[in-house]
Structure 1
Amino acid sequence: MSTATAFCQVSDLDDVKSELVGIRRHIHQHPELSFEEVDTAALVAGRLEGWGYAVTRNIGGNGLVATLRAGTGSRSIGVRADMDALPINELTGLSYASEHQGKMHACGHDGHTAMLLAAALQLSRTRNFDGTVNLIFQPAEEAGFDSGAQLMLKDGLFERFPCDAIFGMHNHPGVATGTFMFRSGPFMAACDTVNVRIVGKGSHAARPHLSIDPVVVASSLVMALQTVVARNIDPMETAVVTVGAIHAGNASNVIPEDATLAMSVRSFKPEVREQLEQRIRALVESHCEGYGAKAEIEYIRGYPVLVNSEAETEFAKKIAEELVGPEQIIAPFGPIAGSEDFAYYLQHRPGCFLRVGNGQGKPMLHNAHYDFNDENVTLGGAYWTRLVERYLAVQPG
């Protein structure tokens, strides 16, 4: 039997596609935020147990691992999907749109979960592998820090469920469905959060000379922060400093006592990450001091750079080439300025985090109009199945 037919094809899941899409849409309709994924985890665990998996619940909170063994092989593999939603009010108008105001699967974690469930079902039906597969359903990827990956690792993930390598996947709007994207080495950025409180002196709007206006300081600081990347970071390096929120005051005739800024800082190298923190701290403090205000800085280190290992990335790419053909592969792809807590797993085990196209002309991630492409449910399921089968290939007798 040829390689093309010995392992899973997308068409092998055609008979269960409607069931799996139904699961995806149910999860989409009932989103749960980070650390709240109780019902989602229960649904996933129930399905997995029904398919014959040994399921261990409540790992790092609402996380779970489903284990299936076949043959006598000693090798093991981990495949991870994330389950949490975002605090966004959905505007898709879909029949299966979120029933929970202000909560939405706007990043496709409903689809990621469904893809891995698709693989779980197919692997349980065929058991065409020799070894142990650990399917990791992770909570709280969107937390930003103290996330689900960190908590599962602290709860002994790899000690309790040994994995020779680990793999994960994220959908990618703007790229055609059926396209897989890979990059070895640094692939996704480190992400830090900086919260700044500017403490000034309040006054009546008609007496600005008696104030230290934090609104003016904040407005000026936003512009000054643009020079950190433009004038302090080597132009051959990649860095992002984005002020995503600014809050001050409640009335037009009152100069408030304080103002707050929140920013996202992204980088791909440790030395650049250090330089960014140093320059941001120095600039914020000196800038505020120049106006007579004081600065309170909370600098939160978030996810590290996601670094794919070379051998596992090449292996993952070959699986995609077998499944959809080399013309559907983009490699190298990226790097991507977004961040992912899958990076923590890769600090402990070799592996690959890859992307799959969610469709051209589709809304971007973290957008109120976003929706996961259902064609990826069985495509991703077939990919994960084939990757497990190939990684834990049955050796000829």
Structure 2
Amino acid sequence: MNAVSFRAAAEALRPRLVAWRRQLHQCPELGFEEKETAALVAGVLTELGLQVRMGIGGTGVVGVLAGAKDGPAVALRADMDALPLQEDTAVEFASRYPGRMHGCGHDAHMAVVLGAAALLAARRQELPGPVVFIFQPGEEMPPGGARLMLAAGVLDNPPVKAIFGLHVTSYLPVGTVGVRRGAIMASADNFTIKIKGRTVHGASPHLGVDAIVAAAQAILALQTIVARRLDPVQPAVLTVGTIHGGEKENIVAGQVTMTGTTRALNNVIRKQLEAGMRQVLAGVAAASGTAIDLDYLWGYPPLINDEKLTTLFRRVAGAVLGPDKVLELANPSLGAEDFARYAEKLPAVYFNLGAAIPDVEPHPWHHPQFNINEDCLPIGAGLLASLAVAALG
């Protein structure tokens, strides 16, 4: 089965791909609430003749396409959830639900993977093995839906030997893909810090313990972890995103709560971030006379592309798109993706699919005006189908 042979079939599928994407875009659902989305996806997979299971990991859907032979499978994964974001585009198929939007391209991811399923189902008698299609809930909700899909055994029956995932991006032209070996996205861990002091009248601060002053000291001290405790050639982020405390202008605050996130590209730095935070906060507590509690939630691990599978990806993508269209990403992103959980279990490749709209200012993921060029949909579907065949072989 020639990988390039999917290109024409994928282009012929374009009207269906666009229709799927727009229908999904109109009905965005938040993590673990994707009931309408799951029903649409399952309906398409059933029409294609796949073995379909619903309710996996909550609202997830898995479709299995049997090949001409049994044996280890290859998996293609799409995420299903939308964002709690008010859409600000002028498209005719905008979200029907106020305050919810597919502002991260998951509608496109689902359409592309459905397209790959359609392409492969049409030639199932030529497939050298089974293909598993994973539609996962809750990617935007750490610790994420991938862990629940894995716990439900989505890689076990049939056993999966390799997996591919993608993310559309408005910063690469249609017809190109971006990939890199090794770390491509960061870990994402969240924390909550609770500082407890003693409330008194603001005119007598010496009789209390000021939690706001301790919070200010903590925020500044925490920044020294990345600046002075970690290897400066290893990227890391520590961000305090919220701070809440105090009741009135003339009352010394007795309690402050702060939340934030940390990012790293390997688990060594990831552990050092948590350890550094605990040490710094213990010092601030001792110096300020407060009690400080750190609740540290390990979320998504770093996303690491497998070296050998990345080589295969570059070869196949070069054959499908042209070698000059396979771009090497110079730097990893410090964004995060729970596709990383699959990559911890088996060889995986995650790549960016170019979706820029010509002569339109690109918007990043999670922006209320985020949109894609739908010409990327058949390209993504054809490429995923080609990758599945190549990895099976």
Q: Distance in 2 between matches of 1:293 and 1:101?
A: 43
When normalised by structure 2's length, the TM-score is 0.92
Aligned-partner SS, 2:132: strand
1:138 is matched with which residue: 122, 125, 136?
136
Identity of aligned residues (%): 37
Aligned to 2:224: 227
What displacement does 1:212 show? 2.8
Aligned to 1:164: 161
Instruction: Within 5 Å, give how 1:169-208 maps onto structure 2.
Output: 169-205=166-202, 207-208=204-205
2:299 is matched with which residue: 281, 302, 311?
302
What displacement does 1:233 show? 0.5
What displacement does 1:64 show? 1.6
1:95 is matched with which residue: 84, 92, 96?
92
The superposition leaves residues 172-209 of structure 1 with CA deviations (integer Å, 9 ceiling, x where unpaired) of 33222222111222222122111101112334455545
8 A contact 2:3–2:390 mirrored in 1: no
8 A contact 1:203–1:255 mirrored in 2: yes
Aligned to 2:283: 286
The superposition leaves residues 371-396 of structure 1 with CA deviations (integer Å, 9 ceiling, x where unpaired) of 24322221111111121233345xxx
What displacement does 1:87 show? 2.1
Aligned to 2:79: 82
What displacement does 1:296 show? 1.4
Aligned to 2:364: 364
* Change in 2 beyond 3 A, CA 1:191/1:210: same
Q: Distance in 1 between matches of 2:99 and 2:208?
A: 38
Q: Distance in 2 between matches of 1:231 and 1:370?
A: 37
Q: How many positions carry a matched residue from both structures?
A: 389
* Change in 2 beyond 3 A, CA 1:210/1:102: farther
The superposition leaves residues 277-313 of structure 1 with CA deviations (integer Å, 9 ceiling, x where unpaired) of 1111111232233222221110111111222211111
Aligned-partner SS, 1:158: coil
8 A contact 2:67–2:130 mirrored in 1: yes
Moved more, 383-392 or 148-157: 383-392
What displacement does 1:252 show? 4.1
- Structure 2 unaligned runs (5+)? none
Matched AA of 1:14: E
8 A contact 2:77–2:163 mirrored in 1: yes
Instruction: Within 5 Å, give how 1:225-374 maps onto structure 2.
Output: 225-249=222-246, 251-359=248-356, 361-374=361-374
* Change in 2 beyond 3 A, CA 1:108/1:332: closer
Aligned to 2:104: 107
Aligned-partner SS, 2:161: coil
Aligned to 1:391: 391
Matched AA of 2:378: T
- Check if 1:153 corresponds to 2:150: yes
Aligned to 2:50: 53
The superposition leaves residues 257-286 of structure 1 with CA deviations (integer Å, 9 ceiling, x where unpaired) of 322111111112222112111111111232
Aligned-partner SS, 1:157: coil
- Check if 1:124 corresponds to 2:129: no
What displacement does 1:111 show? 0.9
Q: Distance in 1 between matches of 2:3 and 2:392?
A: 16
* Change in 2 beyond 3 A, CA 1:325/1:56: same
- Structure 1 unaligned runs (5+)? none
Matched AA of 1:214: A
